[in-house]
Structure 1
């Protein structure tokens, strides 16, 4: 009886050890977040690891010649969205069975020029998300959506700096957008928001997060007491 109790106790301790180790292991691989009470628009701020996912392409982007004839413009960027902040729609046909990461990432993981559309393929900032059409809907015709009373929100303007000469702020949330160089560098980047210095990959060192629009406050004067 004593022997069975010792065996049971040993088994219980072993199972507990394995359980605690597994929990710690998977917790260590989760995205780090910072709780904030100051910024009420989002409860957590993603860690900065996502900014460096395309860092290996930074120097290639910096040395890549600019294709003046095939630049994406901000108007086209927003026209392909139902509203500001919405995922872009899929503007091209999708072959049957060609849905999901294996099909979409052939073009959208690293981009490239597509002769059929005479355009550069936008690079996804979140290639780890495999069910693409869960957010990106297909537009089959102009009558695909029914009329509604929806009024679209206003997109922020470019050059939204806190002070003259300071770096532009980040006017959008970072959910699914942590990988800055996907949208702001390379030939598929939108002309108006393409970075001039992709080799400086630590973007949030200078560009702070703020979804509030800034307004001109005139000349700043420090009060002397």
Structure 2
């Protein structure tokens, strides 16, 4: 009898262990995979921008049909003035409800889909990562425009914009002059009424931005000799 109970207990323990392991494996499978930055000889890349296809599959067409509000356009200077340096998280230029407020209850209400906010007489920029609800972990309120003490830190100059500046070749799509980490949703900054007018894209309905636009890995790309690429084109024109 004891031997039989021992065998039954053994199989019960094995079954419970199987259920625990299976449940843990199932829960892990539901979590989004961590996307590390790959360091390559030509630069840093994110192997998969899965988020690019999650939120803006339908809103791209909405952005393309939105009229331009000339009286409330944001400039690229405003965009960078609200950052400690290019690529830094933007500071919060307005009062917050609570000092320890979290995104799901406050920030996301305006910044998940954007829209005009009469209280601040401006369009709320759309966040590229609404799933990260602890906004105050990276974004701080802007309490002063001056520093407490003089320092020798030279502010980094932002990437230049304009026709032919970030293009690999004449007439080619401009390259991406910044890293993509935390910026996977391109049209959150490049489309809609809150986008800076200098970098507002003309075709937000084309969702796969990386099909034509690639990261700029060479800071001196404008100095590359493109005669090799143009030789075939010139020979065709002569004919």
Q: TM-score, normalised by structure 2?
A: 0.81
Aligned residues: 223
Please give the alpha-carbon distance, in whole angstroms, between the structure 1 residues aligned to 2:148 and 2:92: 14
Task: State whether structure 2 residue 176 is matched by structure 1 residue 170.
Answer: yes
Q: Which moved more, 1:112-121 or 1:194-203?
A: 112-121
**Length-normalised TM-score, structure 1:** 0.86
Greater Cα shift, 186-195 or 98-107: 98-107
CA distance in 1, matches of 2:41, 2:194: 32
Query: Displacement of 1:106 after TM fit?
Result: 1.2
Deviations 1:23-73 (A, max 9, x none): 35424532364774525754x615222112122211111111111221111
Gaps of 5+ in 2: 233-239
Aligned residue number for residue 52 of structure 2: 51
In structure 2, the residue matched to 1:73 is 75
Contact 1:48 1:178 in 2 (8 A): yes
The alignment yields a C-alpha RMSD, in angstroms, of 2.6
Structure 1: state its 5+ residue gaps.
none
2:237 alignment partner in structure 1: none
Residue 156 (1) aligns with residue 162 (2): no
Distance 2:135 2:12 in 1: 47
**Moved runs in structure 1, 4+ residues, more than 6 A?**
none
CA contact (8 A) 2:167 2:222 kept: no
Query: In the TM superposition, what are the counterparts of 1:204-223 in structure 2 within 5 Å?
Result: 204-213=210-219, 214-221=221-228
